[in-house]
Structure 1
Amino acid sequence: MRPISRLARSFVRLETDIWVSLARAVSRRPDTEGGTPIRYAGAESAVIWAFIVVSAVEIPAVHLLIPWPAARFVALGLGVWGLLWMVGMLAAHHMYPHVLTDELLRVRYLRRVALDLPLAGIRAVRNDLRAYDGAKSLQLTGPGETTLAVIVGSSTNIRVDLIEPQTFHTPHGDFTASTVAFWADDPKAAVASIRAAFSPDSGLASQKTD
């Protein structure tokens, strides 16, 4: 029963996240927490939009093809639910960006993953494009499994090295890592902003060398 219970909780949590994200999008209230957003939605937006378009075309097509009224009603309900679900997934990518504040960098994936990296604990940050296998959005990788990767579109393109290992509490379990990797739509600008935030001198230096 435990695996079934975990699966049910994950489904309920994801469903809740989707509808909360959709509500935020309708009310135009992205969750930036007063900081500077670092977007990552571009990596998957095209794919999600493709599903949305297909779903929108499929709903009237199925309605015309099914001859039984009861089956039409069920198909219509499922089609509308699926379309709204995909719109909510797109909204989740836009409503919960990474956030850079005066004190920390919050690395996110949708509404469920949020890794808080205190700026005082960052040793270095750089562009580092890497691809990953598997469908998991959170993976512990690297020699000695010390890099925690928050994956979008099967990739990350920014690497943040910490002064010392940090333990992160996530819905997928607890992970201890000395490096965090994640995706940003504009990695060069993101790296420059993070460098300037945790070390103004190194930020100036990066602008000269990049």
Structure 2
Amino acid sequence: MRPITQLARRFVRLEIDIWVSLARALARRPDIAAGTPIRYAGAVSAFFWAFLVVSAVEIPAVHLIIPWPPVQLVALILGVWGLLWMAGMLAAHHMYPHVLTDELLRIRSLRRVALDLPVADIRAVRTDLRAYDGAKSLQLTGPGETTLAVIVGSSTNIRVDLTEPRTFHTPHGDFTVGTVAFWADDPRAALASIRTAMVTARAL
């Protein structure tokens, strides 16, 4: 029963995250606070928008095709729920970007995953485009599984090497790694900003 309970908890948490993200999007309140956002939604936005358009067309079409009112109602409820759910998932990618401050690089995956990397602990950063198999948003890769990849659209394009391994606590477990890889929509701008922050941190 324990795996079923864990799966149910993850589903409930994801459902909460989706609706909170949608509410933030409607209120135009991205979770950025102080700092420079590094966006990653562009890698998946086209997919979500395509789904939303298809769903918006499908809901009235199904309503016209099905002749039974009770079934029409169920199909309508499921269709609207699916449409709002995908809108919330798209919103989650936009409302919780990576964030860079003078002291910290926070790498995110939607609402619940946030890896805090002190800028002073970053040894090197570079572009490194890689593709991954599987649907997991967090994967251990590299020799000895020393890299934690925060994946968007099955890819990462920036690699951050730390001065020493750090342990990150996530909803998917604890990971001790010396390198973190993630996706940025504009890797050149992200790289420049991170390197500027590194120079500033070392000058202090």
Instruction: Report the TM range for the smaller structure's normalisation.
Output: over 0.9
1:200 Cα deviation (Å)?
4.1
Q: Does 1:105 align with 2:96?
A: no
Q: Does 1:156 align with 2:156?
A: yes
| Structure 2 gap segments, 5+ residues each | none
The whole-number CA distance in structure 2 between the counterparts of 1:132 and 1:112 is: 21
Question: What is the percent sequence identity of the aligned residues?
Answer: 82
Q: Partner amino acid for 2:90? A: L
The whole-number CA distance in structure 2 between the counterparts of 1:8 and 1:58 is: 29
Q: Partner amino acid for 2:4? A: I
1:33 Cα deviation (Å)?
2.1
1:88 Cα deviation (Å)?
0.5
Match of 2:93 in 1: 93
The whole-number CA distance in structure 2 between the counterparts of 1:194 and 1:157 is: 14
Q: Give the secondary structure class of the aligned counterpart of 2:144.
A: coil
Q: Is the 8 A contact 2:159 2:180 kept in 1?
A: yes
Q: Is the 8 A contact 2:124 2:162 kept in 1?
A: yes
1:155 Cα deviation (Å)?
0.5
The whole-number CA distance in structure 2 between the counterparts of 1:39 and 1:100 is: 11
The whole-number CA distance in structure 1 between the counterparts of 2:53 and 2:176 is: 40
Match of 1:208 in 2: none
Over aligned residues, Cα RMSD in angstroms? 1.1
Q: Partner amino acid for 1:32? A: I
Q: Give the secondary structure class of the aligned counterpart of 1:129.
A: strand
1:4-54 deviation digits (Å, cap 9, x = unpaired): 001100100100000000000000000002111000000000001111111
1:59-78 deviation digits (Å, cap 9, x = unpaired): 00010011111111111011
Q: Does 1:11 align with 2:11?
A: yes
The whole-number CA distance in structure 2 between the counterparts of 1:112 and 1:160 is: 21
TM-score normalised according to structure 2 size: 0.97
The whole-number CA distance in structure 1 between the counterparts of 2:163 and 2:186 is: 25
Q: Give the secondary structure class of the aligned counterpart of 1:189.
A: helix
The whole-number CA distance in structure 2 between the counterparts of 1:25 and 1:143 is: 39
Match of 1:206 in 2: none
The whole-number CA distance in structure 2 between the counterparts of 1:80 and 1:152 is: 26
> Runs in 1 of length 4+ with deviation above 6 angstroms?
none
Bigger RCO (CA 8 Å, 6+ sep): 2
The whole-number CA distance in structure 2 between the counterparts of 1:175 and 1:165 is: 10
Q: Partner amino acid for 1:97? A: P
Match of 2:49 in 1: 49
TM-score normalised according to structure 1 size: 0.94
Match of 2:182 in 1: 182
Q: Does 1:66 align with 2:98?
A: no
The whole-number CA distance in structure 1 between the counterparts of 2:144 and 2:188 is: 28
1:102 Cα deviation (Å)?
1.7
Q: Is the 8 A contact 2:102 2:201 kept in 1?
A: no
Q: Partner amino acid for 1:43? A: A
Q: Is the 8 A contact 2:119 2:197 kept in 1?
A: yes
1:78-103 deviation digits (Å, cap 9, x = unpaired): 10000000110110000000000121
In the comparison of the two structures, how many residue pairs are matched?
Answer: 202
Q: Partner amino acid for 1:50? A: A
Q: Does 1:82 align with 2:74?
A: no
The whole-number CA distance in structure 2 between the counterparts of 1:16 and 1:34 is: 25
Q: Give the secondary structure class of the aligned counterpart of 1:31.
A: coil
Q: Give the secondary structure class of the aligned counterpart of 1:22.
A: helix
Q: Give the secondary structure class of the aligned counterpart of 2:34.
A: coil
